[in-house]
Chains A and B, each alone.
Chain A
Amino acid sequence: MNIESLNQTIWDAVIVGTGLRESILAAALTRAGKRVLHLDRNPYYGSEYTALSLDELETWARLHQADFHLPDLQDPPMLAKPRSYTLSLSPGLLYTTSPLLSLLVASGIHESLEFLRVGGWFIYRPDTGADETLTPVPNSREDVFNDQSLDPRAKRLVVRALKSILGLEGGSVADWTQKSLQEYLEQSSLHLPSRIISAFASLTLRHDRPGEIPFEEAERDIRNHFGSIGRFGPGFAAVIGRYGSGSELVQVFCRAAAVTGNAVYVLESDIMNIENNIPYPSWAVEKQFKHEDSIGIHLQLRSGDSIWARHLIATADNLPGGIPIVESLPKPLVEDRYWLSVCIVSNPLQNLLRTSEPPLAAGAVVYIPANALKEDSYLNTHPIYIFVHGSETGECPDGQSILYVSMKGDNKRFLDTAVNSLLNKVRDNNGSTGQILLSMKFENTVESRPLKEANRDSSLHILGKHTPLIEIPDAVLDQVIDIYGDIVGSRDTFMEKVEVEEGEPRDNKDTIFE
């Protein structure tokens, strides 16, 4: 294809940003025969889903005012070459029941990916005076029964709560729709202790305190968690993609789009202006385009290219500010602020990755309940999640691991404190704690409006801002399928598998060995 053809085509869709939703959409549309121009203003793929090497992360941190900190204690230096690291902005897990996984298999795209097990969930309560500060969240009936810290009565109550949450209890349950998870678990007939409440809360992967999590939503999350156990083998509910999880998914979807021949990718490309409902230029009318429509979207790129498209798909922050189409978009009502960090630590944390069956899992989730961690005489106001990625993920060299820490609240110093405390607790085989070799902290917001954006006209599809946290949510797909349906006219064909022609080898004459 010609460079000029960027300008000499009416693109079925121009997609701006290479986040996960954008990339899935690109793959689906191109497989349906639509011509897609996929742009990203960054020199790398993934947008908010990207994964970076150490040196790239440093650049990223500078551009995003993140706090990039290399502790000055490495003698001898313990960090490997910058390129030995794949540090992900989207380390999120997928539950085994995630429709995204089913889609990957159905579309054959999973063959380019490797998924690894997320083993255990742990509750860590260093500063609560508890005897045992690090405890696994039970994953099975045996786990509950083997739990030394529960007396038989408690075990019975835990099982009862669980059964009822999972909908296995006969009879009608009182209406808990207006209540929180905490209220539910503390009801007089259960009256579960805080550690158990934390265990249930940790399975929701939510950053709110149990008293703030609506029971209905927690119920859905917990059902999803247990419903996912065992789908691809015993003992685990979730998986992560090797080499950065979400970022790898993005690349594979983009590649799937590119190999159809229907997509053109241009990185480091920015849109300067957007006009909608503009009559197509005369060449388009004369040329091959026999679209029934005669007006479309006209885009001006920073490169000077002038692009015509029938559909434009982007998050608002990937579109230029100050132009009416973008300014008129509704603003999000509430934004939650999160502190996130990426830490390289010199401790393989194998004790967290051990599962009932070898080999070691690649990931583990550690949940620090609110008020369980002290930093300079303050307690954490919100739970903190530490998502452990072992070296099996390919994100770091052996002997190290990557910790992705996330929390709500203002005091970012809890991020490192949490990691240091955990390292001190989970020593390596030689009894050494290891240390933080690098930590990068940054703030991000999550809009409370659903991913599905209300504001869609027939040609402009604005995606809600999406911040990857611990889980790659199913909702990612819903929105994409909606837009696909709008553009293609049917959802049924979404991401159909493209069969590679099999048959007789077409060139038997090509003998290499005489």
Chain B
Amino acid sequence: MTIDQRICELVAQVSRVSPDQIQPNSDLYRDLGIDSLRTLELVATLETELGVAIPEIELLGLKTPRDIADKIAFFANIPAP
């Protein structure tokens, strides 16, 4: 599974939107309803499931699962998707 797919899966878990409806370029807020409160749940889920520490502030400006994947890659020091 690619990091893109894994992020989409975790975003699906938090947003309760079916994973097959989530694309790496889906809009987190507009298409998936992830508002600031759910951003925090998303951070918690990402940190627990992926074992990375993400300053939650870093996720505030991110718009898509692909943006998150890029950021996680940066914090986990792995190549971006």
Do A and B belong to a common assembly? no
